[in-house]
Amino acid sequence: MRSRAAAYPLLAVLGWGVMFPVLASALTRIDPLNLTTARYLLAAVILVAILLFREGSGALRPGGRAVEIVVLGVVGFAGFNLLTNLALEHAAPQQISLFVATTPVITQLVRWARDGVRPKPLLLALSLVALLGVGLVITRGSLAGLGQFGLGGLMMIGAVLGWGIYTHGASRFGGWSPLRFTTLTALAGTAAMLAASIGADAVGWQHAPAAADLAAVAPQLAYAVIVGAVVAVLAWNTGVQRLGAANAALFMNLVPVTTFAVQIARGYRPEPVELVGAAITIAALVAANLATRARTRPSSLPQTTAVTDQIAVIDPVAVSAR
């Protein structure tokens, strides 16, 4: 039974790992803000339709929590996705995927800052090791490559920090279904993305895509919407409910593995130091997740639904995803 449950988060992380190269290829025709907005306008329509079908129109009401929903939607959905797409203009997909894999650790640090729940020194040490591995991939082991970290790396730090805040805030919505929380925050985030895109188009920072551009990236957009923003989200939340957040979190470390595999299949030839850096990062993150799981799984607690469990705050997408 547990092996069947593991298929859900596995499907999700494989979908997300493939998505980074897909989005990078679409950015050759459409500007980052417009691509992100188009993706989530379509995804929001699908999520709303599913929510109405499953829970009825009442689930669209914020229930007196509109401010929280808007803040988390803007910081999480809009902030993470906009910064990620912008970063893809400055860094390779395999580099971006390694940053995304650090979100479980970043969420722990957010929890420390906001709740005073201090991570163990071992977790902090493993976090530094993971970042060292990311640095090896980005710089290819040369100090001369530090300039490649630049804007793309800073954007991804902001992106994963925003997602950590979003995940921490999601722990206060234990009475909501994952579908409802995801849909309402996605709507708030999509509104922010739309405003940002309109403003960027108006000042000439980017240009509204032509019909030919949208047609050219239709396959990539369809994948990012249907697989990345809908199927993967629902598969992930199902897996979290059946396996628990701590167990499901381990699957996030497969995201960069998948992205590297896709890039290699497309002809990219990584240098040995990049593979070493990726291996260091993944090993450190797996160890960090195992250490966190051991610390947060008291024997007196039943292992029940992850999205209502306090353990969910350690998981970057335990209660919702991009």
pLDDT tens for each residue of the chain, 322 residues long: 456 777 888 898 889 889 888 988 898 889 888 998 998 899 999 999 999 999 999 999 998 999 999 999 999 888 888 898 888 888 778 778 777 777 767 777 777 777 777 777 777 787 778 777 777 776 766 655 545 556 777 888 888 888 778 877 776 787 888 889 889 999 999 999 999 999 998 998 888 888 899 899 999 999 999 998 888 877 876 776 677 655 666 677 778 888 888 888 888 887 788 788 888 877 877 777 677 666 555 444 444 343 333 333 333 333 333 3
Domain contains 267 = yes
Domains identified in the chain, total number: 1
Looking up tokens 């971006």, which residue turns up? 96
Q: Give the whole-angstrom CA distance, residue 78 versus residue 192.
A: 6
Sign of the dihedral through C-alpha 67, 319, 236, 109: positive
Sign of the dihedral through C-alpha 136, 138, 142, 146: negative
Domain contains 168 = yes
Domain contains 217 = yes
Looking up tokens 């090993």, which residue turns up? 283
Domain contains 4 = yes
Domain contains 308 = no
Cβ(124)–Cβ(67) below 8 Å? no
Radius of gyration of the chain (CA): 19
**Burial of 36 from C-beta contacts in 10 A (0-12 / 13-18 / 19+):** buried
**What is the token pair recorded at 112?**
């420390």
Domain contains 303 = no
Domain contains 315 = no
Domain contains 311 = no
* pLDDT reported for residue 225: 92
Cβ(246)–Cβ(291) below 8 Å? no
* pLDDT reported for residue 320: 36
* pLDDT reported for residue 194: 94
* pLDDT reported for residue 305: 40
* pLDDT reported for residue 192: 93
* pLDDT reported for residue 126: 76
Question: Could you tell me which of 104, 101, 99 has the C-alpha nearest to residue 138?
Answer: 99
User: Domain limits at 51?
Assistant: 1-294
Q: Give the whole-angstrom CA distance, residue 27 versus residue 266.
A: 17
* pLDDT reported for residue 297: 54
